């Protein structure tokens, strides 16, 4: 992967942003994919922007799986403790299932 960075003005945001233009390579060194990432924090390193986006997408997949397969969005509890337990059980179930699948 090769990352180019620049601070540019975003018209839609009406402020400067840090762009991280990322080229993903195959084993032969040929570009197979390019992705643009950005952050409104212009002092952030480009590699950190890419890492944060990757981490965020992993979290999004976990929440998606929690909603689809473990009933994360189906809780009707009213007390804070019961809601907290429900979310923790759902996330634990997703993470255990992912760990089991990765071992297979």
Q: What is the pLDDT of residue 72?
A: 79
For residue 42, count other CB atoms closer than 10 A to its CB: 14
Q: To which residue do tokens 């994919």 refer?
A: 33
Q: What is the pLDDT of residue 54?
A: 87
Q: Which helix (H) or strand (E) holds 83?
A: helix 80-103
pLDDT tens-digit map of 28-78: 989 999 999 999 999 999 999 999 998 888 888 888 888 888 887 888 888
Q: To which residue do tokens 């002092």 refer?
A: 43
User: Residue 27 pLDDT > 80, yes or no?
Assistant: yes
Rounded Cα distance, 39 and 49, in Å:
7
């Amino acid at each position: 992967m090769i990352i180019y960075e620049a601070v540019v003005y975003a018209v839609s945001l009406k402020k400067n942003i840090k762009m991280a233009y990322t080229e993903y390579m195959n084993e032969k060194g040929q570009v197979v994919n390019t992705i643009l990432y950005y952050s409104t924090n212009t002092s952030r390193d480009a590699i950190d922007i890419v890492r944060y986006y990757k981490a965020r997408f992993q979290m999004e997949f976990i929440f998606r799986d929690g909603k689809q397969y473990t009933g994360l969005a189906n809780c009707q509890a009213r007390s804070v403790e019961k809601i907290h337990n429900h979310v923790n059980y759902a996330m634990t179930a997703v993470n255990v299932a992912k760990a089991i699948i990765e071992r297979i």
